[in-house]
Amino acid sequence: MKYIEWFENHGKRHAKVMEKLKDKSDDEVIEYFRFDNMVKNEPGFCPLYKDNKKCHDYEELNCYLCACPNFRFDDEGVEKQDDKTVYSICSIDSKDGSQYIGDDYIHQNCSGCIVPHREKYIKKHFSRDWFEIMKDVVIKK
Protein backbone atom coordinates (compact mmCIF):
# COMPACT_ATOMS: atom_id res chain seq x y z
CA MET A 1 0.00 0.00 0.00
CA LYS A 2 1.29 3.45 -0.85
CA TYR A 3 1.65 6.08 1.86
CA ILE A 4 -1.03 8.28 0.29
CA GLU A 5 -3.59 5.46 0.31
CA TRP A 6 -2.96 4.73 3.98
CA PHE A 7 -3.01 8.44 4.82
CA GLU A 8 -6.34 9.11 3.08
CA ASN A 9 -7.99 5.97 4.51
CA HIS A 10 -6.79 6.79 8.00
CA GLY A 11 -8.10 10.34 7.67
CA LYS A 12 -11.54 8.95 6.80
CA ARG A 13 -11.51 6.64 9.84
CA HIS A 14 -10.44 9.57 12.02
CA ALA A 15 -13.30 11.71 10.64
CA LYS A 16 -15.84 8.98 11.46
CA VAL A 17 -14.68 8.89 15.07
CA MET A 18 -14.73 12.68 15.25
CA GLU A 19 -18.30 12.77 13.94
CA LYS A 20 -19.34 10.58 16.88
CA LEU A 21 -17.56 13.00 19.24
CA LYS A 22 -18.86 16.27 17.76
CA ASP A 23 -20.65 17.23 20.98
CA LYS A 24 -17.63 16.53 23.21
CA SER A 25 -15.17 19.14 24.45
CA ASP A 26 -11.64 19.18 23.05
CA ASP A 27 -10.32 17.61 26.26
CA GLU A 28 -12.97 14.87 26.09
CA VAL A 29 -12.02 14.14 22.47
CA ILE A 30 -8.35 13.86 23.38
CA GLU A 31 -9.18 11.57 26.30
CA TYR A 32 -11.33 9.40 24.02
CA PHE A 33 -8.31 8.75 21.80
CA ARG A 34 -6.33 7.13 24.62
CA PHE A 35 -5.10 3.71 23.52
CA ASP A 36 -7.07 1.61 26.02
CA ASN A 37 -10.32 3.37 25.13
CA MET A 38 -9.72 3.13 21.39
CA VAL A 39 -9.00 -0.61 21.57
CA LYS A 40 -12.31 -1.10 23.35
CA ASN A 41 -14.51 1.37 21.46
CA GLU A 42 -12.91 1.71 18.00
CA PRO A 43 -11.44 -1.71 17.13
CA GLY A 44 -11.41 -0.94 13.39
CA PHE A 45 -9.39 2.27 13.75
CA CYS A 46 -6.03 0.49 13.79
CA PRO A 47 -5.09 -3.05 12.71
CA LEU A 48 -2.95 -3.42 15.85
CA TYR A 49 -6.00 -2.99 18.11
CA LYS A 50 -7.26 -6.52 17.38
CA ASP A 51 -4.17 -7.86 19.17
CA ASN A 52 -4.22 -5.11 21.85
CA LYS A 53 -0.78 -4.12 20.56
CA LYS A 54 0.74 -0.64 20.66
CA CYS A 55 2.74 0.84 17.80
CA HIS A 56 4.93 2.65 20.36
CA ASP A 57 6.03 1.36 23.74
CA TYR A 58 4.54 4.14 25.85
CA GLU A 59 2.17 3.63 28.76
CA GLU A 60 0.10 6.78 28.15
CA LEU A 61 -0.16 6.34 24.37
CA ASN A 62 -2.73 8.58 22.74
CA CYS A 63 -3.77 7.78 19.17
CA TYR A 64 -5.21 11.17 18.14
CA LEU A 65 -2.16 12.11 16.08
CA CYS A 66 -1.54 8.71 14.55
CA ALA A 67 0.28 9.65 11.35
CA CYS A 68 2.56 12.21 12.96
CA PRO A 69 2.35 15.79 11.68
CA ASN A 70 6.17 15.77 11.55
CA PHE A 71 6.27 12.79 9.16
CA ARG A 72 6.81 13.74 5.52
CA PHE A 73 6.37 11.44 2.55
CA ASP A 74 6.26 11.33 -1.23
CA ASP A 75 5.35 8.04 -2.91
CA GLU A 76 7.51 9.08 -5.87
CA GLY A 77 10.46 9.77 -3.58
CA VAL A 78 11.56 12.73 -1.48
CA GLU A 79 15.15 12.65 -2.70
CA LYS A 80 17.96 10.38 -3.78
CA GLN A 81 20.78 9.36 -1.46
CA ASP A 82 23.44 7.66 -3.50
CA ASP A 83 21.61 4.79 -5.27
CA LYS A 84 18.64 4.77 -2.88
CA THR A 85 15.32 6.61 -3.01
CA VAL A 86 14.20 8.28 0.23
CA TYR A 87 10.41 7.96 0.51
CA SER A 88 9.82 9.47 3.96
CA ILE A 89 11.56 11.68 6.51
CA CYS A 90 11.04 13.32 9.91
CA SER A 91 10.73 17.10 9.62
CA ILE A 92 12.02 17.62 13.18
CA ASP A 93 14.73 14.96 12.88
CA SER A 94 13.58 13.37 16.14
CA LYS A 95 16.45 11.85 18.09
CA ASP A 96 14.20 8.84 18.72
CA GLY A 97 13.50 8.24 15.05
CA SER A 98 15.67 6.27 12.64
CA GLN A 99 15.73 5.13 9.06
CA TYR A 100 14.91 1.75 7.58
CA ILE A 101 17.37 1.21 4.75
CA GLY A 102 16.77 -1.40 2.07
CA ASP A 103 18.62 -2.28 -1.10
CA ASP A 104 17.29 0.68 -3.07
CA TYR A 105 15.04 2.58 -0.63
CA ILE A 106 15.00 4.47 2.66
CA HIS A 107 11.92 4.94 4.86
CA GLN A 108 11.55 6.86 8.11
CA ASN A 109 11.19 4.55 11.12
CA CYS A 110 9.10 6.28 13.77
CA SER A 111 8.62 3.31 16.10
CA GLY A 112 11.02 4.68 18.72
CA CYS A 113 9.46 8.16 18.79
CA ILE A 114 6.46 9.12 20.92
CA VAL A 115 6.40 12.89 20.25
CA PRO A 116 2.87 13.03 18.73
CA HIS A 117 1.41 10.54 21.19
CA ARG A 118 1.75 12.69 24.30
CA GLU A 119 -1.40 14.55 25.32
CA LYS A 120 0.53 17.75 26.00
CA TYR A 121 1.74 17.76 22.37
CA ILE A 122 -1.74 16.92 21.08
CA LYS A 123 -3.30 19.79 23.03
CA LYS A 124 -0.73 22.20 21.61
CA HIS A 125 -1.50 21.17 18.01
CA PHE A 126 -5.16 20.18 18.39
CA SER A 127 -7.69 20.77 15.65
CA ARG A 128 -10.92 18.89 15.06
CA ASP A 129 -9.89 18.74 11.41
CA TRP A 130 -7.20 16.03 11.34
CA PHE A 131 -6.28 16.87 7.75
CA GLU A 132 -5.57 20.47 8.80
CA ILE A 133 -3.04 19.27 11.38
CA MET A 134 -1.53 16.93 8.78
CA LYS A 135 -1.52 19.43 5.89
CA ASP A 136 2.27 19.38 5.50
CA VAL A 137 2.71 15.59 5.65
CA VAL A 138 2.29 15.02 1.93
CA ILE A 139 5.22 16.58 0.09
CA LYS A 140 3.96 18.54 -2.90
CA LYS A 141 6.35 19.17 -5.74
Q: For residue 48, what are the contacts with CB-CB under 8 A and spacing of at least 6?
A: 54, 55
Residues in CB range of 95: below 8 A, 6 or more apart: none
- Cα 34 to its chain centre, rounded Å, is 14
Model pLDDT for residues 70-105, shown as the tens digit of each residue = 999 999 999 999 999 999 999 999 999 999 999 999
CA atoms within 13 A on the CB side of 51: 5
- Given this model, what pLDDT does residue 1 score? 85
What is the model's pLDDT at position 128?
Answer: 95
Q: Residue 140: its pLDDT value, please?
A: 81
pLDDT, position 86: 97
Pairing status of strand 79-81 against strand 71-73 = unpaired
Q: Which residues of the chain have pLDDT under 50?
A: none
Cβ-contact 68, 115 below 8 angstroms: yes
